[in-house]
Amino acid sequence: MLNNKNILITGGTGSFGQKFVEIVLKKFKPKKLIIFSRGESKQSLMAEKFSTNDYKCIRYFIGDVRDFDRLKIATRGIDIIIHAAAMKQVPASEYNPIECIKTNIYGAQNLVLASIENNVKKVVALSTDKAVNPINLYGASKLSSDKLIISANNLSAGKGPIFSVVRYGNVYGSTGSVVELFEKLKNSNKPFPITNKSMTRFIISLDQGVMFVLRSLNMMKGGEIFLPKMPSIKIIDLAKAINQSKRISIIGIRPGEKIHESMTTQDDNNLLIEFKNYFKHLPSYMQNAKEIKRYKIGENGEIGNYVSSKFSYTSDKNKFLNIKEIRKFIINQKKK
């Protein structure tokens, strides 16, 4: 799928980008693998692990998705784009709303236009559960980004790139996650701060996230939002799994924070097709019965079915990992 292809990943020095590069270099032989990001120090650190001497396909491009001209240059000759660049921190986005909008919305728009102009073949953008029924700017900006990416298929009109979205929940151990905070505090005298004892979240590992993106890239026909089936955890159970004897302090909900997250809304159930390990959310503009039939075919010929009108995919009404299972999950992540 990726052999002899020119691939660009925006936000490529982030947690997802680094794992994506690691897995792609291990499993495929791309012609070019371009890491596009605006942080020169992060690129320098990443180049120590993935040097251009050891990996001849790798290129490091300094650039910002806000800068259309730079993005247009970077996407020349590219076959596949993974769009992972975003402002992701809820508090930072609430405090710096214009910066969030410039990166997450205008950046997505720039990517769409540059991809069409340079006739890129496939574009997959990463989304988040916070884009569903958003109550914070980060979620609202990612919802807008998702809409831009999906509707881009109308702009390319079947003659240019095809665009799809992959949406999943909290990535275990990603930069800025609560796991980082708990790991820092687990041997200190300070308690674990938890905003609400009832809080739940979806959980997925970096490896699982990357592999699901690769599977979606292989399956995509354009216009879908791919949703993996993920377990949920209680944040208080995560804290206990990291340190069972640690004191916990309930600090109250932060601005823009939810108790539970959703992967889709019940209003969209008429567009949601279920498969064994994932869901496909069809584009709202999809009306053609022949096209819908084609979208119902999944991996290895699996036929999906529409969910019921009462279906709900929320972190509080989902399969939960218990403390023992969370601890096993953590141990497995540390081995990788």
Give me the active site residues, please: 130
Residue with tokens 């559960």: 129
What are the residues whose beta carbons fall under 8 Å from the beta carbon of 321, sequence distance 6 or more?
A: 203, 231, 232, 233, 237, 329
- C-alpha–C-alpha distance, residues 94 and 130, integer Å: 14
What is the spatial order of strands in the sheet that 170-171 belongs to? 170-171, 200-204, 232-234
CA distance 333 to 206: 9
CB–CB of 66/99 below 8 Å? no
Taking a C-beta distance cutoff of 8 angstroms, is the pair 272, 279 a contact? yes
Measured N-to-C along each axis, helices 235-242 and 323-335 cross at an angle, to the nearest 10 degrees, of 60
Q: Six-digit token pair at 26?
A: 């291990």
Q: Report d(CA 61, CA 74) in Å as an integer.
A: 8
Helical (H) or strand (E) element with 272: strand 272-274
Could you say which DSSP state residue 253 is in? P
Q: Is residue 301 within 8 Å of 276, Cβ to Cβ?
A: no
Residue 77, by phi and psi: left (phi above 0), alpha (psi -120 to 50) or beta?
A: left
- Paired residues of 8 in beta bridges: 34, 81
Question: Based on C-alpha coordinates, what's the Rg of the chain?
Answer: 20
C-alpha separations of 327 from 167, 239, 260, 274, 286 in Å: 25, 10, 21, 29, 43
